[in-house]
Structure 1
Amino acid sequence: MTGRRAALAAALATPLLLPALRRATAQGAASGFPSRPIRVLVPFAPGGQSDTVIRLLAPKMGEVLGQGLVIENRPGGGGSIAGGVVAGAPADGRTLLFDSFGFLIIPFLVKGLSYDHDTAFAPVGQAVSAPYVLVVKKALPPRTLTEFIDYAKANPGVTYGSPGTGTVGHLAGALLASRAGIQLEHVPYRGGAEAARDLAAGSVDCAISTANSLRPLIEDGRGVGIALTSGERRGTLANLPTIAESGFPGFDLTSWNAMFAPAATPAPVIEKLEAAMRAAVQDEATRQRLILAGNDPSAEGAAAFAARIRREKEVVARIVRETGIKAD
């Protein structure tokens, strides 16, 4: 009977002990974190927006964390390949995803994901926001958005490159085509740098990507800046008009770059990562480099960024319904 009473007492005590055990486990995980370099997956090719931003943040983040960040480019699948690796990684904060606004679009366009996109990730925080810009190749006649739309109406099937399926560039092109009544043909790349390269070579008619990728073409005359996708003029290309002010009020698609960890990563670990990223964004030297690359540093924490994701996901769902956008 004594053994039975002991077993019963242990069973009754277990539900009371579990929260304390979880807290102790989380605190233990955070106290020794990070004990080795942190792997950060970027779902785009080297040289593009997301890759550039995390490489600017990495030195200061590594200094704060006491461990280096190892950047790994895993392009493809609209970001779902890199996302799948992180979603399946141990929830210990040592494998992270550094993504863009396209993160919100993946579940609408990429079918048969190997993970539940809505529950697989824990937001760490947003680092920057960045408008996209529509740039046409030098040989194309348009110099304003009105001229571009007139040209597209007279030449159905104008091609536009973007950093990939499901990115802001992809979505912005589809939304502009829908609202302007024109036919544009999407050409997805593995990153903004590759789209910029082909635009400079004249392989695509235009591209919609970040200032980081396309501003050099505007500055050296290999491309012509037409309009920004953001609701207001901002960033290093604030001299260009917005699509909204060029005849499409309410048009506002602004990208961001942010960090995600696997779901169930202990809160103390998330807090350490969030603090390191905030320190990097607020570091004056890093901040200036981010601005020169066409970004608006934001340092939005995990809770505020999670709320942003919920709001913007509804916007994406509405645009997907309006445009009928599909994966290429």
Structure 2
Amino acid sequence: MKPTTTLLLRLSAIAMALAIAPSAFAQAWPTKPVRLVAAFPPGTPGDVIARLIQPALQAAWNQPVVIENKTGAGGNLAAGEVAQTKDEHTLLVGPDTILTINPHLYKKLSFNLRTSLKPVTYFASFNQTLACNPSAGITSLAKFVQLPSTRLYASGGAGTPSHMAMEMLLATTGTKLIHVPYKGPGPAAQDVMGGHVDCGFIVSSIVLPHVQSGRLRAIAVSGKERSGLLPEVPTIAESGNPGFDATFFETLMAPSSLPVATVEKIQRDVRAALQAPTVKARLAEMDLRVEGYSTQDAQRRSQEDFAKWGTVAQRTQLQLD
């Protein structure tokens, strides 16, 4: 055989090996226990989802799946640990706001959220509900936008989905209200019920029992689709603000260095785990709509929402570090 022919055959074999390598690695992954680092406390939506699908993932991966809660700084503590890890078996669980809102609000982090992490999939979507104290006399979005600028609105905290959704609504309607941040959606709901503030965007699962008891009035929901828990309540878009969409997502994220083939394998296995009827039923009780986005769709949506929330953050001139 001629030397040239031999060289070509060797180069061809190397090229084939390189092409097969990512796929082979994905099939081999995981080679040890997988850590899911949850950015918020036990019992919060992302943590609940992780624990619901944990048994199915352990069966699919033939490895233990360990869930660890690392809370603080709006999810940035957990994000930092995963973003800076060299371990390809460590993933991040938390709301999409870690990648779409936090980069606009936290400018002094030692790492770049957008370039260090990437979405693997969106587990599920959820809404905020615009809820008001019944005595405020607000029965529709049209009446809400007529509130004078001296009135107050509650949120679950500065930079949270409830805050940012409200600021986007105020911007699109030209309404001006005074923001009162609370330490979580529960305290915010309590003060709306107590009449200390008129209204607030509050996650639908917390609002539901108070709407049913008559202590709160649900005006509209923030996302493109109505809430499964409050199907009679229209969306903001249906209420006279076309195109309004403040949908949020519980998300699985990975270090940006994780190979594409591995990311796609994880996405497929997670999507399959989310389809279990018991998982869907439990999430529906929490007003979480199962999604299971493809990796490409999750990354596209993340980029779109990053730009959208950047506009809102610029309007509020909010910085949290």
The bucket for the TM-score relative to the shorter chain is 0.7 to 0.9
Q: Does 1:94 align with 2:93?
A: no
SS in 1 for 2:253: strand
- The unaligned stretches of length 5 or more in structure 2 are 1-9
Instruction: Establish whether residue 51 from structure 1 lines up as the match of residue 47 from structure 2.
Output: yes
Out of 46-55 and 193-202, give the one that drifted further: 193-202
Q: Which moved more, 1:191-200 or 1:217-226?
A: 191-200
Q: Which one is further off, 31-40 or 289-298?
A: 31-40
8 Å Cα contact 1:125-1:301 kept in structure 2 = yes
Match for 1:239: what amino acid?
E
2:256 aligns with 263
SS at structure 1 position matched to 2:56 = helix
Partner of 2:72: 76
TM-score calculated relative to the size of structure 2: 0.81
Query: What is the CA–CA distance in structure 2 between the aligned matches of 1:78 and 1:172, rounded to whole Å?
Result: 16
Hey, what's the Cα distance between the residues in 2 that align with 1:240 and 1:106? 29
Say which SS state the counterpart of residue 258 (structure 1) adopts.
strand
Provide the identity percentage.
28
Q: Which residue number in structure 2 is paired with residue 282 of structure 1?
A: 275
Cross-structure match for 2:131: 135
By how many angstroms is 1:87 displaced? Answer: 0.8
Q: Is the 8 A contact 1:158 1:183 kept in 2?
A: yes
Q: Which runs of 5+ in 1 are unaligned?
A: 1-12
Structure-1 residue corresponding to 2:202: 209
Count of aligned pairs: 309
Amino acid aligned to 1:182: K
Q: Which amino acid in 1 is paired with 2:95?
A: D
CA contact (8 A) 1:125 1:300 kept: yes
In structure 2, the partner of 1:180 is 174
The yes-or-no answer on 1:38 pairing with 2:32 is no
1:244 equivalent to 2:237? Answer yes
Name the counterpart of 1:115.
Answer: 111
Match of 1:228 in 2: 221
Q: C-alpha separation between the residues in 1 aligned to 2:215 and 2:63? A: 41
* Matched residue SS, 1:300: coil
Shift of the 39–258 alpha-carbon distance from structure 1 to 2, 3 Å rule, reads closer
Please report how far the alpha carbon of residue 260 of structure 1 lies from its aligned counterpart in structure 2 after TM superposition.
0.3
Aligned to 1:304: 297
Q: Please give the secondary structure, in 1, of the residue aligned with 2:138.
A: coil
Deviation at 1:175, TM superposition (A): 1.7
RMSD over equivalenced CA pairs, Å:
3.2
Separation in 2 of the partners of 1:213 and 1:72?
Answer: 25
Answer whether contact 2:130 2:202 (CA < 8 A) is retained. Answer: yes
1:9-68 CA distance string (max 9 Å, x none): xxxx9xx979957975884575151522423222x3443333333333333333333344
Q: Provide the rounded CA distance (Å) in 1 between the counterparts of 2:144 and 2:202.
A: 17
Secondary structure at the residue paired with 2:226? coil
> Match for residue 124 of structure 1?
120
Structure-1-length-normalised TM-score = 0.80
- What is the rounded CA distance, in whole Å, between the counterparts of 1:241 and 1:287 in structure 2? 23
Instruction: Give the letter aligned to residue 296 of structure 1.
Output: R
C-alpha separation between the residues in 2 aligned to 1:121 and 1:256? 16
Instruction: Report the 3-state secondary structure (helix = DSSP H, G, I; strand = E; otherwise coil) of the residue aligned with 2:93.
Output: strand
SS of structure 2 residue aligned to 1:114: coil
CA contact (8 A) 1:48 1:193 kept: no
Partners of 1:84 and 1:312 in 2: CA distance: 21
User: Structure 1: which amino acid aligns with 2:318?
Assistant: K
Q: C-alpha separation between the residues in 1 aligned to 2:188 and 2:56?
A: 29
Please state if 1:324 is matched with 2:316. yes
Matched residue of 1:225: which SS?
strand
Q: Distance in 1 between matches of 2:190 and 2:67?
A: 23
Match in the other structure for 1:60: 56
2:79–2:92 CA contact under 8 A, matched in 1: no
Deviations 1:261-299 (A, max 9, x none): 111113343233212210121112211222222122111
Amino acid at match of 1:158: L
**Other structure's SS at 1:118 match:** helix
Pair 95,245 (structure 1): closer, same or farther in 2 beyond 3 Å: closer
Following superposition, the deviation at residue 254 of structure 1 comes to 0.8
Q: Would the aligned equivalents of 1:41 and 1:72 in 2 still touch at CA under 8 Å?
A: yes
- Structure 2 Cα separation of the partners of residues 119 and 112 of structure 1: 15
